[in-house]
Amino acid sequence: MANTSMQIVSPTTLWAVRVRSVLGGLRRAPKIPSLVLLVFMIFAAFGQWIAPYSPVAVDMAASFSPPVWHEEGSADHLLGTDKLGRDILSRLIRGARVSLSLSLFVIGLGGGVGVVLGLISGYSGGKVDAVMQRGIEVILAMPTILVALVFVFAVGRSFESVILILSPFLAARFARIVRGETLSVRERDFVAIAKVIGTPTWMILLKHILPNVFNTIIVLATLEVGHLILLESSLSFLGVGVPPPQPAWGLMVADGREFLTSAYWITLFPGLCILAAVLSLNLFGDWLRDTLDPRRRQL
């Protein structure tokens, strides 16, 4: 111990390692999915200034006008109009906000609660775990759509009620999977050592268990966004989703279904948006999982 300055671990190195790994990870981010998600996020945030028309402006004279590349199409409505003559492009742009924010709220609320419950259930084990798991099984056994129908009829159709009824179902799915992962992580030696040290339980959950189940949470969240967009469209189709005339992608697909043979564009473009969003989120999630795992990083 001749040189005491040698013993000081430099804080800049510690941060440099973290920052470098984040930058390195960003450089490897998947380009097309990132771009797609960025565009959708811009639509969601600034849609009212980007969309050429109001999403609810009815123009019966222009109903069912096809996209611009058809002979009858016009440059006024690039992606055509629906049966009330509303501009599809404008509705897609404005619909991004409804579809994405609905998914984000449900993931944030339901997923957050589910992760916390799953961690507690898996880590404590015993009676606490048994009781919580039976509760989760009850929720998972209920038919989502049917329960949503009853709930929405009871409290009224709104954006908030859709979030409220979908969140518990998502929480149950998250809790179940996070619990399983927690069961395996809590048996690892570093958790035993933390107990020997006397680390408080909340800190063990936060610092040791949560980071090691994070991969699963990310993958699950990206998969569930797709699932939620589809659920929202099912609910809209049954008339209990986001209330019209608010544009939501699922609702638009449902609207156009009866004109599928004569005016495919009403269904096709929102469908493509759902496809692009779900696919991009999955690819993006894969990248995020790899980036957050120190073993997969190349420093």
Partner 1 sequence: MANRLLEVEGLAKHFRGGGNWLSSGGDSIRAVDGVSFSVEEGETFALVGESGCGKTTVAKMILLLERPTRGAISFQGKDVSSFRGGSLREYKRLVQAVFQDPYSSLNPRMQVLDIIGEPLRVHQGMRGRDLRMRVGELLENVGLNPVTASFFPHQFSGGQRQRIAIARALALRPRLIVLDEPVSGLDVSIRAQILNLLVDLQRELGLSYLLISHDLAIVEHMSHRVGVMYVGKMVELATRDEFYGNTLHPYSNALLASVPQPDPDVPMGTTIGGEVASPINPPSGCRFHTRCPIYLETNMCREVEPEWREILSEHLTACHKVEPAVV
Using CB under 8 A as the criterion, which residues of the chain lie in contact with partner 1 when the complex forms?
Answer: 1, 6-11, 13-14, 16-17, 130, 188-190, 192-200, 203, 207-208, 211-212, 293-295, 299
Whole-number minimum distance, CB 11 to partner 1, in Å?
Answer: 7
Closer residue to partner 1 (CB): 51 or 213: 213
Whole-number minimum distance, CB 1 to partner 1, in Å?
Answer: 7
Please, what sign has the CA dihedral across residues 179, 104, 110, 279?
A: negative
Whole-number minimum distance, CB 191 to partner 1, in Å?
Answer: 8
Q: At what angle do helices 159-185 and 126-141 cross, to 10 degrees?
A: 140
Is the separation of the CB atoms in 263 and 71 below 8 Å? no
In whole angstroms, give the CA distance from residue 100 to residue 36.
Answer: 13
Closer residue to partner 1 (CB): 14 or 38: 14
Which is nearest to 152 in space by CA: 67, 260, 242?
A: 242
DSSP symbols for 62-78: GTTPPPTTSTT--TTST
In whole angstroms, give the CA distance from residue 65 to residue 80.
Answer: 5
Whole-number minimum distance, CB 134 to partner 1, in Å?
Answer: 12
| CB atoms closer than 10 angstroms to residue 269 | 21
Length reported for the chain? 299
The phi and psi torsions of 159 (rounded to 5 degrees) equal -55, -45
Query: Tokens standing for 105?
Result: 């709220």
Closer residue to partner 1 (CB): 2 or 61: 2
3-class SS at 226? helix
In whole angstroms, give the CA distance from residue 119 to residue 121.
Answer: 6
Closer residue to partner 1 (CB): 121 or 161: 121
Closer residue to partner 1 (CB): 143 or 198: 198
Closer residue to partner 1 (CB): 93 or 213: 213
Whole-number minimum distance, CB 197 to partner 1, in Å?
Answer: 5
Residue with tokens 């998502």: 170
In whole angstroms, give the CA distance from residue 32 to residue 110.
Answer: 29
Whole-number minimum distance, CB 94 to partner 1, in Å?
Answer: 40
Closer residue to partner 1 (CB): 7 or 262: 7
Closer residue to partner 1 (CB): 4 or 261: 4
Whole-number minimum distance, CB 238 to partner 1, in Å?
Answer: 40
3-class SS at 30? coil
Whole-number minimum distance, CB 118 to partner 1, in Å?
Answer: 18
